[in-house]
Structures are given as structure tokens and as C-alpha cells.
Amino acid sequence: MMRNKFFSAGIIKSTSFNLPVICIGNLSTGGTGKTPHTGYITELLLKSGYKIAILSRGYRRKTKDFLLVEPTHTFLEAGDEPCQYKRHFPGNNVIVAVDKKRRRGIEKILQLFPDVDAIILDDAYQHRRIKAGLNILLTDYYSPFFKDRMFPLGDLREPRSGKKRAHAIIVTKSPPVISPLTRRHTSIKMKLHSGQTLFFSKIIYGQGVGVYNNSLIAPKKTYSTIFMLTGIANPYPLREHLRSLCINMETYKFPDHHMFTTCDIKKLIKDFDSHLSTNKIIVTTEKDMIRLQSPKISALLSGYPIYYIPIEVKPDKNDKEKFDNYILDYVKKNKRNK
């Protein structure tokens, strides 16, 4: 990509800021777990007493320019992921903002909140007008970037060589046990240079929670049929998890960030009502749950047993202490004098 070459050559300039800026992104079109990893790092820094700002583009929102996200904003105003962040971190020590122009977004955050300690850029690996102090690249264990190709032949947004800009690479959605051989093999395949650090993380699924109430999903293997409704890039891990909760599954898969329509939901409800099983539920993701809150969709689904599955990420047991210290050391060493 010529654009990347211009940035690397200094023909197009990148802007640096005098505080820790952590960029979380990927080379693929999605599905690597950016949202839960952003949440993990935010929680880590929050517990250490830092005031954090999360800046996102606010993909597919109807508003323009800079927006400071409040708990009252909808996904149409701020985007699904920013609303999810604000839902998880409603306090004043985590600022959530959206702006398509990330440099302007950072400048606005610093103007409004001069006491902020660090900024996390969500899905900004290709946004090179900002020079982040720490670039974290995510890649799926089962679909690593070194096995992928550029779109439309594959799912990569940019060539594999883009991984050179990363300071750390996290292999996400990995199995419970990572052997030394797997680590060595992955490192060789990625062709990491001496300045890069490799980590592994896995997904932890929580107990299902009612989308329109606080009811909890029943214990494992209780349901005869689960109707899985998703609009995310890679629903495969969730589908495998849900198989342990039921005998039969019906899947309704839509593209990433899909704006659910009444036609989509009416089709789901028709199939649900006509299914012979009496012990059945509808399950979706937390990000999709945000997009099911519109009045028209809520009116259709509120009387049905529909749950979302919260997820979090956890570094591999051999990586957790090292990863946590890696993040905390970076922020501590680059903390600005207020």
C-alpha cells in the first residue's frame, strides 16, 4: 500500500502526543477480539489509579465529528462498541469518545480532560496520522495473519508486512494450554523482530443475561434448542461454546455491525414460534445486544427468552503477569507531568 510507504518514509507525517497512547488493532477485517482486549487493558489501568480515555471511530453511527459518549447515548448516536465501553465503565475515570479523525479526537479529549493519564485507541492500527507509543496487534489463533491474504482473496486490510509496526502481538482466542513448541512455532511463522513481544490470550464466557431484564441463563445442557443471533465478524467461538448448553442449534448470522431490521427479527420470531421444541431460548452477543435496544426491535423481542453472553479475555497463565507489567510499565515510563 502506497499510503503506508508514504508514512514509513516520512512523506506523510504522524503526530505524537506527550502522554501514553495505546493503539489496539489488527491486520484483518475484524473478529480478533479488540473490544474485550480494550476492556481488559482499561480495567487494568483503572485499578492502578489511572484516568483513561477510550477513543473510537464510532463505526456506522449517525452523528458526525467528535462526540463524548454518555450512558444515555444509543448505538445510532455513538456506535455499538463505544456504547458497550460506556456501559462497562460508567464512572468519571473512564472517558469514552468517538471521532473519525483520531488526531482531532485526542486533541479534544486533552482539551476537555487535561488530567487524563492515557488514551486507548480502539481499532486504529491503520490510522497512521497518530504515532502511538504502544501498538498492540491482535490475531486470531485459528486464523493468524501469516496464513491469510489481502482482501478480496482473504480477510487482510493490509499486507502481512504491516505487523512490523507492532510493539506487541497477541494471539487471541487461543486454547487453554499453549505449549513452548506452539510459542516457538508461532514466533517463527510471524517472523518477529527483536523489539516485538508475543503474548497469547483466551476468551472467558460469562453466564447469559437477559437482554431486556436481569434474568440469568439456566445451567449447562438445559435447553433443547438455542437460536443464535449474531452480527459480528467471527461468531464461530460463541457457537462452539453454546453447543455445550443445548442439544440443537439454529444460527442466524449477519455481517459485522449489522443494523438489525424488523424483517430480520420477524423471521427469527416466526422460526422460533414454529419450532417444535418447548425448551428453547435465543442467544446473542453483548455487542449485538446494544443494537437490539431500538424501540421497534425491543417491542418485537421483549416478550421472548433472549439472552446475551458477556465475554472477557484473559492472558495465558504464563503471560498474565508479564503482559500486565508490560502495559503498566509503558504507562508509568511515559506518564506526563501534569
The domains spanning 2-203+313-333 and 207-309 adopt the same CATH topology: yes
The alpha-helical segments, DSSP class H, found in 2-132 are 2-8, 34-47, 75-78, 80-88, 102-112
> What is the pLDDT, as a whole number, of residue 2?
55
> What is the pLDDT, as a whole number, of residue 3?
60
Among candidate residues 110, 130, 112, the one with its CA nearest the CA of residue 121: 130
> What is the pLDDT, as a whole number, of residue 175?
94
> What is the pLDDT, as a whole number, of residue 10?
59
> What is the pLDDT, as a whole number, of residue 128?
87
Annotated domain spans of the chain: 2-203+313-333, 207-309
> What is the pLDDT, as a whole number, of residue 8?
59
Question: How many angstroms separate the CA atoms of 146 and 338, rounded?
Answer: 42
223-230 and 246-253: which strand pairing? Answer: parallel
Question: How many angstroms separate the CA atoms of 98 and 107, rounded?
Answer: 12
> What is the pLDDT, as a whole number, of residue 253?
97
> What is the pLDDT, as a whole number, of residue 205?
95
> What is the pLDDT, as a whole number, of residue 115?
95
User: In this structure, what C-alpha cell is assigned to residue 328?
Assistant: 503498566
C-alpha distance from residue 18 to each of 117, 156, 183 (Å): 10, 31, 35
Is the peptide bond preceding residue 176 cis, with omega within 30 degrees of 0? no
Q: What is the pLDDT of residues 109-118, one digit of tens each?
A: 999 999 999 9
Structural class in CATH, domain 207-309: alpha beta
Note the CATH number of domain 2-203+313-333: 3.40.50.300
With H, G, I as helix, E, B as strand and everything else as coil, classify residue 28: strand
Q: For the chain, which ranges sit under pLDDT 70?
A: 1-12, 220-221, 337-338
